[in-house]
Chains A and B, each alone.
Chain A
Amino acid sequence: MPPPAELHAQLVALLPRLRRFARSLTRNVHDADDLVQLAIERALARAAQLQADAPLAGWMYGIVRNAWLDEVRARERRQRLLTPDVGDSLAGRVSGPTDAEQLAVQEALASLPEEQRSAVALVLIEGLSYKEAAYALGVPVGTLTSRLARGRGALQRLLGEPGPQA
Chain B
Amino acid sequence: MTFDDETVMAYVDGELEPPARVALEAAMACDPQLLRRVEAQRALRARLQRACAPLLEEPVPERLLDAARGARAPAAVPPLPRARPPVRRWSWPQWSAIAASLVVGALFGPPLLHPPDGSVTARDGRLLATGALAQALSRQLVSTQAPNAAVRIGLSFRRRDGAYCRSFLLRAPSPLAGVACREQDAWRMQVLAGAPPGPAVGDYRPAAAAMPAAVTGTVDALIAGEPLDAAAEAAARGRAWSQ
Contact = CB atoms under 8 A, between A and B. Distances in A.
Give the interface residue-count category, chain A. Answer: 35 or more
Contact of A8 (B10, B70, B79): B70
A115 B51 CA distance: 20
A4 B68 CA distance: 11
Interface in B46-60: 46-52, 54-58, 60
A75 B14 CA distance: 38
Interface in B143-182: none
B43 A16 contact: no
Interface string B93-111: 0000100110000110000
Nearest to A47: B70
Contacts of B229: none
Contacts of B55: 16, 19-20, 23
A86 B65 CA distance: 29
A93 B106 CA distance: 13
B67 A149 contact: no
A148 to B, nearest CB: 7
Most chain B Cβ neighbours within 10 Å, of A34, A74, A80, A153 = A34
B41 interface: yes
B68 A8 contact: yes
Interface of A: 4, 8, 11-12, 14-17, 19-20, 23-24, 30-31, 33-38, 40-41, 44-45, 67, 71, 74-75, 78, 80-82, 86, 90, 93-95, 97, 99, 101-102, 104-106, 109, 120, 123-125, 127, 129-130, 145-146, 148-149, 152-153, 155-156, 159, 161-164, 166
